[in-house]
Amino acid sequence: KLLIKDLRVDEVPLRIYQPKSPPTGKRRGILYFHGGAGTFGSIRAFERICRYMAKKCNSVVVSVGYRLAPEHPYPGQYFDCLNATLYFMRNLEEYHVDPALIIVSGDSCGANFATVICQILLNNRDLPKVRAQVLLYPGLQGLDFQLPSYQQNASVPILYRKLVLYFCFRYLNKEPKFLKDILHNCHVCESVRSKYKKWVSADLIPDEFKIRGYVPPTPPSYKPEVYETIKEVLALTFSPLLAEDSVICQLPEAYIVTCEFDVLRDDGLLYKKRLEDNGVQVTWYHSESGFHGILAFFGYGIFSFFSGKKIVDNLVNYINSL
């Protein structure tokens, strides 16, 4: 039912999925950035999700095989995703895509890339506006590793709390150091913590997400040497949750998926609140039994999870509603 073709744009592999049936009108165009902490994962690993979306949404799906760190240094991943997006937006006619129906999506770090791309594109008036951002259990900030979800799900597979930091260092091509200090937020000085407390704080997480054993942490002591080790995590590319309100209020409507058993759950909850506080429409789906990375198992028969299927089917329903 699909026509699938591979091509390269500025050395970046793309796989494009198009319905074989002749278009009765303009189709939606969906860009998909896969997860994998920027250091692993591939177009092939997310083939099933992209095929499913292309068929069920009668859409053109562009899966982006951005080059991986540390071999392809950070922040090159963002430029790969941006170049792929620009290529697609400039060739919509070829794919019979409606310029008013472009969706930028991704899971995990791919959702981070999608968020950043949407923010970058606000400055480009010559391109079509993004219709919606679809963020599946996104990682959006490196400011606070003591949020309730980080505490509650520290030992939940597949993404342990310590693994988050390991992948951060690998992504940034650095030696992992001061892990314990970073987990206790010693990389953030008091002035920065105060500045962003209105956007990143356990106080902003609804109480129902704290009942599973959350303990408010003692205030950390700032250590400049720890900050120097991992200061990149406070940049807007790494932490798009820290963008100013003047940027957030211009963003397209969002579909956000969070999973209960995910260290990154609260990143999604905080971004949902930020968007809503700035008048941006948000459709939110919370998987009460889901865990981080559940979509990597989608379509694998007995190895897949019912919760993952529900996430994807809700996502399809949302896209079809646009």
Residues forming the active site: 108, 262, 292
Name the β-bridge partners of 7. 14
Short-list 169, 165, 236, 166, CA closest to 199: 236
Half-sphere exposure of 127 (CA within 13 A, CB side): 22
Short-list 138, 207, 214, 217, CA closest to 183: 217
Short-list 263, 32, 286, 35, CA closest to 141: 263
Scan for tokens 């379509």, then name that residue: 299
Scan for tokens 């709390």, then name that residue: 161
What order of strands is seen across the sheet that includes strand 2-9? Answer: 2-9, 12-19, 60-64, 27-33, 97-107, 132-136, 253-261, 282-291
The tokens for 216 are: 């408010």
Residue 188, φ and ψ in degrees, nearest 5 = -115, 120
Q: Give the torsion through C-alpha atoms of 181, 147, 137, 306, to 10 deg.
A: 110
Short-list 6, 96, 15, CA closest to 59: 96
Angle separating helix axes 47-56 and 306-321, nearest 10 degrees: 40
Per DSSP, which regions of the chain are E strands?
2-9, 12-19, 27-33, 60-64, 97-107, 132-136, 253-261, 282-291
Distance between CA 303 and CA 157 in Å, rounded?
Answer: 15
The tokens for 231 are: 């200061």
- Give helix then strand counts, H and E, for the chain: 11, 8
